[in-house]
Structure formats: structure tokens, C-alpha cells
Structure 1
Amino acid sequence: MDHRPWLASYPAGVPHTLAPYPERSLYGLLEDSVRDFPDAPALAFWVPGAPLGKTLSYRELGQQVEQFSRVLVSLGVMRSDRVGLVLPNCPQFVIAYYAALRIGAVVVANNPLYTERELAHQLSDSGIEVCVVLDVLYPRVHSVREAVALREVIVAKVTDYMPFPVNLLAPLKMKREAAKHGEPWPPVPAGASVRWWADLMKRSYPEAPIADVDARKDLAGLIYTGGTTGFSKGAMLTHYNLVANAMQGTAWFEDMQEGRESIMCVIPFFHSYGMTVAMNVGIYKAAKLVLVPRFDLEATLKATAKEKPTMFPGVPRLYIAINEGKDTAKYDLKSIRVCLSGAAPLPAAVAERFEEITGARLVEGYGLTETSPITHANPIYGKRKAGSIGLPISDTDCRILDLDDWTKEVSGGRGELAISGPQVMQGYWNRPEETSAAIREDRDGRRWLLTGDVATMDDEGYFSIVDRKKDMIIVSGFNVYPTEVEGVLYRHPKVLKACVAGVPDARTGEAVKAYVVLREGESATPEEIIEFCGDERHGLTGYRVPKLVEFRDSLPETLVGKVLRRVLAEEERQRTAGSAGG
């Protein structure tokens, strides 16, 4: 791979290769940290509204994981069985995750905010029989339990790992919150057919031996993806995939020190980004994981000031919230050294402001669930390029392919990004046709993932995502890439958030429409936004300038900050249908 142009752009401390990668269980990362740093802090748990968090050492975490692996075996969980998690970032997530891996089971983490329909699909599709759920999320699981044939439901509480007296006071506040939102309390009714985490963890069980896994073939996790365009599908990630990507990610953070780092874990672990960049990388390097179950600005600022995280992986909307926070200046955030932003494009102005506030280095990266997920990042201590996803990380090969013929490479232009490396998934769970469409083998037998993203590569090996193939807007036969237009919108001083999509147009087929959220206290007209985008200094040719502008209070987003264009498209469809009907 030495001929790849990006290798010449690597910082001196980042290796070109880490091969050969160890063929071992992902659980082994925790096992090593427990052995080498038993007294180092492993988990610091912070709950919004609580005055302080509770900390577990690596020795204690190892003991809890071993105990819960015995619990799972006692409930009939066997090697290759899928174990479901419906949990936010909390100690039980980390414990259950590594306990399942310890016995060779497969982790299936579920978005706690899924609708009943989405949750039922995922539980049923993966064949989960045993599920761990937070008590306040139980009603959603209960509603689908019979339909998806869940055999065992283990209910955890956030108070299980809260210090005294917060563990006694918190339920009173939670009860008031439930009443305010019209939610049932207690969320798990008396007599419900469930098992309680706290009770199970107190009992005695026979030993549960550590599974001997085939790292290249045995699955560690099914991570579901594609839910923004329909029913999600499970990316099959092996132990080898996830161990390799944890090592690749760690190598990019070239100054990480074992047993001395602290990672702010706001990005959800059920998402591949949070799972690898926050949890697995942290466990691999025996870092302290500062767990915040949901993003709350005050709780995040307090936890940062108290726990002194050195790393803060996140998404643009988290950094924007901190930048814009009225009380941010009251807290000491200077412990943060490095941040990797993913899941959505990072506006240069957002990065610059965050770095002013914290003194940290904030760079944009890129990945997909299908790649465990990290594939690209801007150098932490090298040349960063605004608007670029950076360089392929160690042992990651990339090609830019013709949009209509994957066998042809594009030189110097736009094409579909294809990725090969140790982090590329086995395929989609029970989806052989979709697997065949996404992963292709070249004449040398190398497996390439076709990402569906339109990209470019410059002469220094830096990649930029132009857009998703399916999000491309065609105006009078010309291609318009929404992210290019959004990049201009974000330069407008009054714009906080923006999204661009194509809407039907009788004359041009499609027209460019901008959905804009203004900064607090600002006002603007559609004409003002359109004129700004049309200014020749911004480089948008006429057909790429928005024709329509809609101001909104918010944009529909996933938990990790990706704008749900399908929701905006459905709103437009209903609006158009209503107008036609009227």
C-alpha cells in the first residue's frame, strides 16, 4: 500500500500498518486492561440532575462482567445467541456488552428511542430471546414482547449504579418527570414477568468459561443500519473487525497513554461510532469512560469539569450546543485534548469556536456501520483540511469508482467511494442479496465495500464526501450535491442549522430547497438566504442555488445528529398531495 498517496500525508507518529492484527475475542481488550490496570478508574456514571457520579475501577468492572456472564449462562444463553440491549450509556450497557462477548454470544444494541414498530423489527430480525432493558424503557419492550417471542427480559435501573443518597432521591424526581409527561410510574408494573438486574447480580452461579472464538468468522455484534431509508438491516461485525478497528482508531490518536486517558461518552454506545470510538477504544487503552446516558448540556459541562476527560468524540450538534451554551464559560473544559467528529459534516466555524473554548484539537472523520465504523480521519497533529473527511486510517485502502460501473476507477473526479480493510463487515444479517450488492470482490480476491457515498480525493490523499448517491438532486439534468449547498448556508452568520433536499419542480424536474434553523434572536427572509447563496464568492452556479427556503424551529435528526431527509421528503409529499387535493 506504500504507493497510496495518503500515506505521505500521515503524521510521523501514525503507522502505515498495524498488521498482523491479533485473532482474538473483543472481550480480550477488557481482560488485558483489568490485568494491567486493576485500580484505574473504568466507569464514571453521571446522570442529568444528579450532583455526582459513581466510579467503578477496572477490577470492579471485570468482576461485574464475569458475574453477568454467569447470569446469562444461567438463563440459557449460549455461544452465537443474540443478546439484546435497550439501554442508554450506563454501566449496565458496558457490563452486559462485554459479558455477552465473554461467553461467545452476539450483542445487538438497540436505539432506546425506537418506535414500537422499529424495535419489533430489530428484535425479531436478529432472533433475540434475552433482552436487557432500562426500567423507564420497559413499556416499549413489553408492548412487542409477545410478538417477537422474547423469552427473558432483564430490567436495569439507573439507580443500580448511583452512589448513596442519590440512589434514593433520584426515583422521586423520576416519578415527578413521568407524571409531567403522562408516562406510567412505576414503568414496570408489579407482577411483571421480568428479572431484575440488581437481584440477579447478587446470586451465586456456576463458573462461566471464557469462549474460544474464531475471530475472523464469529460475530461479536449485529449493528443495525439503514433505518433512515426504511427498515434497518444488521451489519455482521466479527471479533476481528472490531478488535482491528479499535486498534486502528487508537493508532490515529497517536499520543494516547494507557491507563491515563479519560473519554467523555455522550455519543450513544448503541451506535457503531460510540461503540468503537468511545467504548472499545477506551477499554482497549484502559481509559476512564465518563458515561452520560443522554446529552444534557448542564450535565455534560459538569461532568467535564469534574472528571477531566482528555478525549471527547462527538457529532457537530453536540459541539454546537457547547459553543452556543449560555453557561459554558462557567466551566473548565481545558482538560479536553482531542476530539473526533463524525456522523455528519463538521462546519469549519463550529470546529474553530470549540477549539477556542477548550484548547482541544477537533477534527472531522468518517466511517460507516459496515466498517466498524472508522475508515478516515483528519490528522490530529498534522494538516487538517476543512470540509474533508481526511485520510484513510492505517491498513485501509480506498478507491473512487465510476457511479455506473464499479469495475472502473475515476481519476481526479467524483465517484463512489469503495473501501477495503480489516474493519469491513462480513455482510448483512440474513440479507444475501443486499450483501452481494454492497460487497464486491476484485480479480485479486480483495473485498470492497461500496459505500453509496460520492467522494473525491485530492493529490495529497485527502478525501471529501460530496454526497450520498441517493440524495443527489437533478436540476434540468445537472447534478446538485446537497452538502455543497449546505456548506454555503453554514457560512451565513444567522444560520444555526441547515439541510438541503430536492423537491419536485414542473419545469426543471427537481428544485433545490433549503430548510434553515436560525440562531436564537435572529430573523431573515427567504430572499436574503437565496441572495447570499447566489453570491459568486460562494461558488454556487445558478442551478445549485436554493430556489425555495423554509425556516424551521428544528430539523428532524437521529440521536447522532444526522438529518432525516426522508422525514422532510415525506412532509413535502404530503404537502403536495394536500395542495393537489384542495
Structure 2
Amino acid sequence: MPRSWISRYDPGVPATADYPEWTVPDLLRRSASRFPDSPALSFYGTTLSFRELNELTTRCAFGLRRLGVRAGDRVALMLPNIPQAVIAYYGVLKAGAVVAPMNPLSVEREIQSQLMDAGSETIVALDLLYPRIQAVRERAGLPKRIIVTSLRDFLPTAKRLLYPIKAWWAKRWIVVEKSPPVYGFLELLDAAFPGMDVGDSPLPLLEPDSLAQIQYTGGTTGSPKGVMLTHRNVLVSALQGRMWCSNFREGQEVFLGAVPLFHCYGLSTCQNLAVATGSHIVLLPRFHAGEVVKAIQKHRVTIMSGVPMMFSMITDVAKARRHDLRSIRVCLCGASPLPAEVQQEFERLSGVTISEGYGLTEAGPTTHCNPIQGTHPRGSMGLPFPDTDARIVDLETGRRDVPIGEAGELIVRGPQVMRGYWNKEAETQAVLREGWLYTGDIVRRDEQGFFFFMDRKKDVIKPWGETVYPREVEDILFQHPAVHEAAVVGIPDRHYGEAVKAFVVPAQGACVTERDLIEHCRKSLARFKVPAVIEFRTELPRTIIGKVLRRALRDESGAPVVDASPSRKAM
């Protein structure tokens, strides 16, 4: 099919490429060969070179195999953005096993569900999380092996000595007894090669089409599913990101490692892209806006991937403290739509244009991005990546292409698209049809080839038999100066099927009423799109990367309303 959008690519960005027959660990091996002494990771004063990182990951691989991990085994990683997360990721893959990243904020029920679903007998986790994991093991029998590590393990000597005092003061000090089935991460690395050089013993031979990751979806629209990504999927996704930035300086860029690396977005646009290009990652285990702006200024960060909430909070801190953000050359935003006012303010402070993108876990994750250097229309989610096809099809059958400018479901295909869902054949067949991934997202395309996200297919509201896209209503609410955040969902209505409900977080110090916002919406929206109910909140429920959990808001608002007609509300 013709890819008309290619003409809008930045100069130097190819329409297609020949991808090497490598596996994911080859990205690290290659950078260790090309940039052995260049910094790979920085963590509060500790810096690891690419040579050191490559050796540590090989030691990790041998340590895992000595514990009994074999090719194809699933190893769960429950770690924040610390050096051990990167070491364990590549170590697991070098051992021939499959990485199953897990959110460190997961509760016992979620941990048990993911371990049981993936069949993960081994987990590498932060010691602070051990009580939850141990409780699951006692109840479910998994995991059989628990490898624990501490935030202090890779700190400089002085900070490592002070860590117990700070941790005790913060009531976060946990002592974990290291005896089977519990092992220490540092001991695992130290015991991997008794009297042996790292290059003396072979590791399993990997194939590009073998499974690399089981990446669980966020569960924002239902129960989480394990997305199967092959080495080829993961490698292609990283190399597509490299190609998209035609002025990339390999071996010189500095990445901000603040977006969670256990999430597919962070793994692809930060960790794997940086490792593939010999770039430096400044790791931050949690997002704290004040710490982030200091890190950007201190390390002269050049590439940043983030989510709208991060950009909003960084902007507020940078304005207040006058930090310099102008070292940033490339800025990527994903996970959810970026409000125009947040984008404009951040760009004014940093001098760099945010390139908003689009993706989903099932596509490894990125399929679209706005040009890094060229211009793009406001609100665009970008152009399809090289070697990526995209169509917009009708919502009823999913087979007919809709005309340019009309809304429909986005379907994509490309070498980064998943193999399928782990142990879920029916769900796989529902979204992978004739080589196309049905995203469940409603988008439109303009004459220039730029795509625009409208909403999740499952989030569309149907009041009076009409169609309402929540994002359209949210955009109007955002235009009111008293609105800081807004989320719109459909709620049951006895008369009209569904009604529009808005959840609003007011701007700090602002005074606004439900009537004020309904009148504001009436000026710009058709009557059936105007919220029937507005609920004020101090915050909205979010995923770890900042995406609003509309499902949670719908669940809270499940009771039918008697009469939510906007024509009779607040008259």
C-alpha cells in the first residue's frame, strides 16, 4: 500500500531499512565494542562504562544459569530505575530466558496473577518489595527463587554507608536473610565466575525470532494480558527510534532515565535506544520534578522521553527555580495526549519542540511519532515509523478504509508488532487479523498524512444515540483557566442510555462551580456532548506512567442517573 506520509519525514529518515539479524544483547555487545570506556549508566555518583555494563550482564547471565534458569524460562523483574534493572534485563536475555517486567507498585494479588500467568519461577526484586513477594510465595508456591537487591548496592561508598541510616529514618529499612530460596544480587554476580574470565564460557545461542519479553498491558481497559515480543520486535523498535532522529550523535547523547524502565515505553525509547547507540543514561528511581530538573542541568541531558504529567510538573519547578533545560535536543512524549498549554510552556522554557508520539504495548510500543526537526500540526500523534503501515477502517466491520478526515479504528502492521498474547489464543485472533493489529483506538488522518488520536474505541460515549469522544470534551474543559486536569467518561442513564460525566481537578487557588464549567462547555459543544455531571477531585487515578484510569472512574460512577439531560441541567 502507498505510504503517502513519507514525504513529511525529516531529511535523512529512511522509509525502510534492512534490520540486522541480531538479538537484543547484541545491542549491548556492539556498544561495548564501539564505546568501551564511554559512560553507560549514572546513578547518584556511580558511573558504569559500557565495558563494565556488558561484563556485569554476562556475570548475571551465568549466575542465573547456576541457579537453574534455563532457555525459555520466564524471569520476573520488579525493579525501579536503578543499575540492577538494566543489568538484570540484559542478563536474563543473555541467559536465554524471557524477561517479564513487573510494576514495583503491584500489590500481592497483582504479583500473584502475573507470576502465575507467566509461570515465572524466578524474580529479581528490590528488597523493599520482599514482604509482598514472600507472602505470594507462601500462598501460591511461586516464585521458587527470589533474588533481592538494595538501592544502596550500586551507590558510591560514602552514600552506601549512609543509606541504612537514611532508610531507617524514613522507616524503609528491611533486612532480608539471604538463604535459599532467597539470594543476593551482588552475591549472584560475584559467584558467577569463580576463577573464570567472562569470555571463556559460552552462553545459549539466541535467535532473532525467539521470545524476549512478556510485557503485561496496563489493564486500563480490562485485565492485563501478556504481550509476547520477540528479540526482533524489541531490536526493531529501538532501531526505528534511532532512524527517526536523523541528527542523532551516537556515543555522545545523554538520556534522562526518569520514565519507568519496566514499562514498554521506557524500555524502548530510553533504555534500549540508549544502549543501542552507546549513549549515557542518567537513572532516577522515582520521578521527583525538583530532582529531575537538577539532573537535566547537571548532566546536560540531551534526550528525554516523558509523559504529559512529567512535562507539566517539570515546567512548574523549572519556572520557580530558574533551572536551565536548554541542553535538551530531542524530547518525546507518549502514553496519553499532551495538552496544548503544557506543550507550549515546556517548549518556551526548554527551547526544544516536543515530538508527541503514539504506540501501544502490542506494537513494542511505538508506531507513530511527529518529526523531530520538521513542523507538524498541533495535536498530531505523528506519522507512521519507517516500515510501518497504517490504515483507518470503519468501526462496524473493520474492513473498509474510511476517507481522509473521517474517524475510524487505527490498524497497523510492521516488524515491531507482537507475536501475540501469552496463553490467550482467542484474544490474539481478535486483534491480529490478516497481519494487521487492530488497536482499538479511534483516529483520523489529514491530507498531509498526519494522524490524530481521538479516543479509545471502548471509551466512546453514546448519549441519545449520538457519538461523543471524551477527549473532545476534555480539550474544551482544559481551555477554562480554572481547570488543571479533566477526564470524561460515560455513565449509565435510564433515559438516554449514557450520559457524559466529567471529573475535574481545579487549578491551584481557582474558584469554579459545576454551573460555570457546564456553561463554558455549552459555548463550544453540541448539547449532547455537554457534561451532565461534573465532579471535582483533588487528583485523578493514574497508571505508573501517568495515564488517567478512565475505567476506574467509570467503575466509581456505575449507578444509573435518573435524568442527566444536559438541556435541563443547571438551567
TM-score bin, normalised by smaller chain: over 0.9
Runs (4+) of structure 1 exceeding 3 A deviation are 189-193, 205-208, 326-330, 574-577
Quickly say closer, same or farther: Cα 1:458–1:515, change in 2 above 3 A.
Answer: same
The letter for the 2-side match of 1:8 is S
* Residue 552 (structure 1) aligned to one of 537, 542, 547: 537
> How big is the shift at 1:566?
1.5
Pairing partner for 2:64 from 69, 72, 77: 72
Q: Aligned partners of 1:149 and 1:256: how far apart in 2? A: 44
Contact 1:72 1:100 in 2 (8 A): yes
Check conservation: 1:364, 1:388, Cα contact below 8 A.
Answer: yes
On the 8 A contact 1:387/1:464 being kept in 2, the answer is yes
**d(CA) in 2 for partners of 1:310 and 1:226?**
29
What is the letter of the counterpart of residue 550 of structure 2?
A: R
- Decide whether aligned partners of structure 1 residues 506 and 234 sit closer, same or farther in structure 2, where only a CA change above 3 A counts: same
How far is the alpha carbon of 1:230 from its aligned partner? 3.2
- Alignment partners' CA distance in 1, 2:35 and 2:543: 36
Residue 348 of structure 1 deviates from its aligned partner by 1.4
Give how far 1:193 is off. 4.4
Note if contact 1:301-1:328 (Cα within 8 Å) is conserved in structure 2. no
Q: CA deviation at 1:332?
A: 2.1
Higher mean alpha-carbon deviation, 222-231 vs 246-255, is at 222-231
Q: Which residue of 2 aligns with 1:32?
A: 30
Distance 2:515 2:105 in 1: 37
**SS state at 2:306 partner:** coil
User: Structure 1 residues 278 and 510, CA, compared in 2 at 3 Å: closer, same or farther?
Assistant: same
**1:375 touches 1:392 (CA, 8 Å); kept in 2?**
yes
- Partners of 1:208 and 1:518 in 2: how far apart? 61
Identify the residue that residue 299 of structure 2 maps to in structure 1: 307
- Does 2:424 match 1:431? yes
In 2, Cα distance between equivalents of 1:562 and 1:6: 28
Distance 1:576 1:197, change over 3 A: farther
Contact 1:137–1:187 under 8 Å retained in 2: no
Counterpart residue number, 1:513? 501
Name 2:273's counterpart in structure 1. Answer: 281
| Residue pair 1:417, 1:450 contacting (<8 A) in 2 also | yes
Following the alignment from structure 2 to structure 1, what is the Cα–Cα distance between the partners of residues 428 and 543? 24
Q: Tell me which of 151, 160, 167 is aligned to 1:167.
A: 160
Post-superposition Cα deviations, 1:65-106, rounded to whole Å, max 9, x if no partner, equal 111111011111111111110001110010010111112211
Match of 1:239 among 231, 235, 238: 231
Query: What's the CA shift string for 1:248-279, capped at 9, x where partnerless?
Result: 11111221111000100111111100010000
Tell me the residue number matched to 1:50: none
Alignment of 1:466-485 (within 5 A): 466-485=454-473
> When the two structures are superposed, what TM-score results if normalisation uses the length of structure 1?
0.92
1:140 to 132, 150, 155: 132
Q: 1:6 to 1:148 in 2, by over 3 A?
A: farther
Superposed, 1:96-495 pairs within 5 Å as 96-146=88-138, 147-178=140-171, 185-186=173-174, 188=176, 193-203=181-191, 204-205=193-194, 208-216=201-209, 218-325=210-317, 328-412=320-404, 413-441=406-434, 447-495=435-483
Relative to structure 1, the CA distance from residue 360 to residue 187 in structure 2 (aligned partners, 3 Å threshold; closer, same or farther) is: farther
Report whether the alignment pairs 1:16 with 2:31: no
Instruction: Measure how far apart 1:391 and its partner are.
Output: 0.5
Correspondences of 1:33-72 after superposition (within 5 Å):
33-46=31-44, 53-72=45-64
Q: Which runs of 5+ in 2 are unaligned?
A: 563-571
Change (3 A) 1:423 1:326: closer
In 2, Cα distance between equivalents of 1:281 and 1:37 = 15
Shift, 1:359, TM fit: 1.4
Contact kept in structure 1, 2:218 and 2:543, CA below 8 Å:
no
Give the percent of matched residue pairs that are identical in Structure 1 and Structure 2: 45
Number of matched residues? 555
Instruction: Indicate how the Cα distance of structure 1 residues 364 and 461 shifts in structure 2: closer, same or farther if over 3 A, else same.
Output: same
Q: Is residue 573 of structure 1 aligned with residue 561 of structure 2?
A: no
CA distance in 2, matches of 1:175, 1:201: 27
- Secondary structure of the 1:452 match is strand
In 2, Cα distance between equivalents of 1:532 and 1:170: 52
CA distance in 1, matches of 2:85, 2:307: 21
Distance 1:388 1:541 in 2: 23
Shift of 1:331: 2.1
For structure 1, which runs of at least 5 residues remain unmatched after alignment?
47-52, 442-446, 578-582
Aligned residues of 1:266 and 1:292 also touching (Cα < 8 A):
yes
Q: Does structure 1 retain, via aligned residues, the 8 Å contact 2:369–2:381? A: yes
Letter in 2 for 1:43: L
Residue 192 of structure 1 deviates from its aligned partner by 8.0
Q: Partner amino acid for 1:461?
A: G
Contact 1:121–1:231 (8 Å) recurs in 2 = no
Q: Does 1:83 align with 2:75?
A: yes
State the AA in 1 paired with 2:423: N
1:518 is displaced (CA, Å) by: 1.4
- Letter of the structure 1 residue corresponding to residue 412 of structure 2: I
Q: After TM superposition, give the deviation of residue 497 of structure 1 in Å.
A: 1.1
**SS, match of residue 165 in structure 1:** helix
